[in-house]
Copies of this chain bind each other. A is one copy, B any other.
Amino acid sequence: MGIIRKTESVEILLNEFHDTETALSTIELIKRLGKRINKTTIYRVLSKLEEDGILHSFLGFDGVKWFARCKACTRSQHSDVHPHFQCISCGKTECLEVKVNIPKLTNREVLISQFIIKGKCNLCVA
C-alpha cells in the first residue's frame, strides 16, 4: 500500500531526491529533515515511495539503508537491479548504470540480488 495522499512530508522527501542523482541514506535524510518531519514519518514515507516504484533501496557496507530514485519502475515491476558504489572518502553513494551479470546457478531460483562496490569516487581518486 503505497502513497495515497499528497502530504507535505511526501513532497519534502520527494524534493530531496529531485535535486540529486546520488543515493541518500535514512541517516542523512533524518539529519536534514528531522526538524521538519518526524523520523518515523521519514521511514514510513520512504518505504511507501519504494512500494510505488519511485525509490529503490539497498544496504550500505555499514548496514545503513540507502534510497535512490528509480528510473523505470512501477508498483508491480521493480527493474532497478544495478550495482551501487560507495566512496570511502567522501561517502557519496551512487547507482551504477551498468548491467549485473548474475551467475548461472544450478538448481537454485534467484529472486533478488544486491551488488555493492566500495572504493574512491571520481572526485576522490588522487
A2 adjacent to chain B (CB < 8 Å): no
Establish whether residues A107 and B85, one from each chain, have CB atoms under 8 Å apart when the complex forms: no
Q: Which of B101, B103, B107, B122 contacts A96 (CB 8 A)?
A: B103
Q: Judge if A108 is at the interface, Cβ distance under 8 Å.
A: yes
CB distance from A50 to the nearest CB of B (A): 14
CB-defined contacts of A111 to chain B, threshold 8 Å:
88, 118-120
Q: How far is the CA of A96 from the CA of B119 in the complex (A)?
A: 23
Q: Which of B88, B101, B116, B121 meets A101, CB within 8 Å?
A: B101
Binding site for B on A (CB under 8 A): 59, 61, 63, 83, 85, 88, 96, 98-103, 105-122, 125
7 A-B interface contacts by CB (under 8 A)? A59-B63, A105-B119, A108-B119, A108-B122, A109-B125, A110-B119, A113-B116
A110-B119, A113-B117 known, 18 other contacts, Cβ within 8 Å: A61-B112, A85-B105, A88-B111, A96-B105, A98-B103, A99-B103, A107-B122, A108-B120, A108-B121, A108-B125, A110-B117, A110-B118, A111-B118, A111-B119, A111-B120, A113-B116, A114-B114, A114-B115
